[in-house]
Chains A and B, each alone.
Chain A
Amino acid sequence: MLLLCGTAQMADLIDILVVGAGPAGGNAALAAARHGKHVVLLDEQVKPGGQIWRAKDSSILSAPQTPESSAGDALRAQITKAQIDHRGSTRIWQIERQTEGWDVHVLRDGQVERLTTKTLVLATGAHEFVQPIPGWTKPGVFGLAGATALFKQNLSPPGQRTIVSGTGPLVFFVASEICRLGGTVAAVVTPNTRRDWVAKLPALARRVDLALRGALWIVHLMMDRIPIFWGCSVVSVEGVARVESAEIQKLDANWAPKGETWSIDADSLCLGHGLIPSIEAPQLSGVTISYRSDLGGWVPDIGEDGATSVEGVFLCGDGTGIRGAAAAELHGTLAGLSAAEHLGARTAKERATLRSRFNRAARFGLAMTALSTPRPGLAMLTKPDTIVCRCESLTQTRIAQEVEVGAASTNAVKSGLRAGMGPCGGKYCQTAIARFIAMHENRPEAEIPPSAPRPPLRPVPVSALSADFDYDDLPIPKPAPL
């Protein structure tokens, strides 16, 4: 039996370090701990749950349960009971190969710390893709997935009167949550058509429970006479210093804007076009990536049960492709077991029984990903003077000029214009820039990878570094290939 100290020493060698405490990472940690491994579970949030099962903050004394809060509470209870050293509010910003394993540099309470582990399980989840539209930087515009953080953590709507615009099932969840939390939905706007949804009926039939829940969201919106504009998108946001109204336009079958526009008043807009796997940490560990549009874009190359070609690195969950929470739980368990097996545990039988369940859950998740993934025409929503890189206020015209003088990769645009070097680290511009380059040069997206990730993966205050580091300790990253 392993006893964990309350304050782990830097020199402690961890068996399995799990990054991300969502459905995948949480279950990976639980599976590895069941096999007696010394598991440390790092997460940016205070409590486990990830984005999908994000915990309520301490201002909420009691509230009606939702399927998400119940699932999150169950995971949190299991993690508390297990022999897992969970460290919340902890951000990783660098990963380095060492002779005996991996050094992971983290930031917690304004202090940097280095953890050393034999194996890594990276369950870094996803972030959101938002096709830039005129006015999308105005206060009152929120990411569609981002808004769900406000619902789950703070139980607050994003405004008094909100337009919800985006792809896949998420628009209906967000609209339904706004109603539940006392807000008003001015309109639901989605590029998908009813026909797109009908085409997914076979996949929906695999998860009748989830399909019924989605159907209830839509029926509720219709009963409340909330307009649902199918085959449309919000195409621009108007207002002085904040959202006051939004223009809506019909889209063609390729999702390019076409035909009449009309305006709807609102004080807030939730806007999102699918999820992108967060692959920076796997890339820093040396895992190669491939383009898979069915999985949401660029994904790390993984083998069976989350194994990779890099020894001691295992990946799971939406960070390996957007398959949804139900698949992520099982994938996490599989990867946790694989990591334990790597350290001598016998887990082959257990993994064999889980694999078919994972594949079934993934099929449903991938059907939802197919509905959520933007079609090429959506890129036409970005106009020449639309800001693409929010951090550096770079318009599409600036990026086009850079591409025209020969910047044929996201790395080249990044080094030429700093698009991707700002505080967000490129999370909200790289995909749009890659798609723009692909469209501009008439090349497939699979030829335009995201720019090479550079530490720090998250902003690190200089004060945190200067307090604990000698100059010799500062990791000097390799220059990005151009």
Chain B
Amino acid sequence: MIRLAPDQSAQIRRTEKVEFTFDGTAIWGHAGESLAAALIRSGRLHLRDAPEDTDPRGAFCLMGLCQECLVVLEGQTVESCRIELQPGIDVTSLRYGADG
């Protein structure tokens, strides 16, 4: 079938895959992409709990406004959509609920 908007995903060349951890689990992403993008690709969407009702939250605006994608990196709370993925980093979700 003729495709007017072809799937170009195979034509995209990316940096090598690197490992990092999220809540202790090793996952991979591409060095230099945003941490949020790597987490979304790996299916890790639940990044934090809402402080008031501990409901699960994840990246929403992806442009540094909503503060929903906050995670903990090296003891600092950071916006995962504005952090470049480096190999070997240890990232944890921000949990206030019973499981956190």
Chain B interface helix/strand/loop/mixed: loop
Q: How large is the interface on B (under 10, 10 to 19, 20 to 34, 35 or more residues)?
A: 35 or more
* Identity of the chain B residue whose Cβ is nearest the Cβ of A60 in the assembled complex: B14
Per-position contact with A for B50-83: 1 when CB-CB < 8 Å, else 0? 1111011111111111111010000000000100
A283 at interface (Cβ–Cβ under 8 A)? no
A423 proximity list for chain B (CB < 8 A): 67, 70
Per-position contact with A for B1-28: 1 when CB-CB < 8 Å, else 0? 1111111111111110000000000000
CB distance from B29 to the nearest CB of A (A): 8
A142 proximity list for chain B (CB < 8 A): 59-62
Per-position contact with B for A89-115: 1 when CB-CB < 8 Å, else 0? 001000000000000000000000000
B91 at interface (Cβ–Cβ under 8 A)? no
**Which of A59, A128, A422, A459 lies in contact with B85, CB distance below 8 A?**
A59
A411 at interface (Cβ–Cβ under 8 A)? no
Contacting pair B58 A143 (CB below 8 A):
no
In the bound complex, CA of A182 to CA of B5 (Å): 11
A154 proximity list for chain B (CB < 8 A): 33-34, 37
Contacting pair A390 B34 (CB below 8 A):
no
Contacting pair B65 A180 (CB below 8 A):
no
Contacting pair B56 A424 (CB below 8 A):
no
Contacting pair A181 B8 (CB below 8 A):
yes
Contacting pair B63 A220 (CB below 8 A):
no
CB distance from B97 to the nearest CB of A (A): 10
In the bound complex, CA of A393 to CA of B9 (Å): 37
In the bound complex, CA of A33 to CA of B100 (Å): 52
In the bound complex, CA of A143 to CA of B13 (Å): 27
**Which of A61, A128, A180 lies in contact with B61, CB distance below 8 A?**
A128
B50 proximity list for chain A (CB < 8 A): 137, 390, 393
Binds B, one of A155-163, A298-306, A325-333, A354-362: A155-163
Contacting pair A138 B56 (CB below 8 A):
yes
**Which of B2, B33, B55, B65 lies in contact with A127, CB distance below 8 A?**
B65
In the bound complex, CA of A64 to CA of B11 (Å): 7
Contacting pair B47 A139 (CB below 8 A):
yes
Pick 21 A–B contacts, CB within 8 A, sort by A: A57-B34, A59-B29, A59-B85, A63-B8, A64-B12, A127-B63, A142-B60, A143-B62, A143-B66, A146-B61, A147-B62, A154-B34, A156-B37, A158-B40, A179-B7, A182-B8, A182-B10, A242-B56, A387-B55, A392-B52, A428-B66
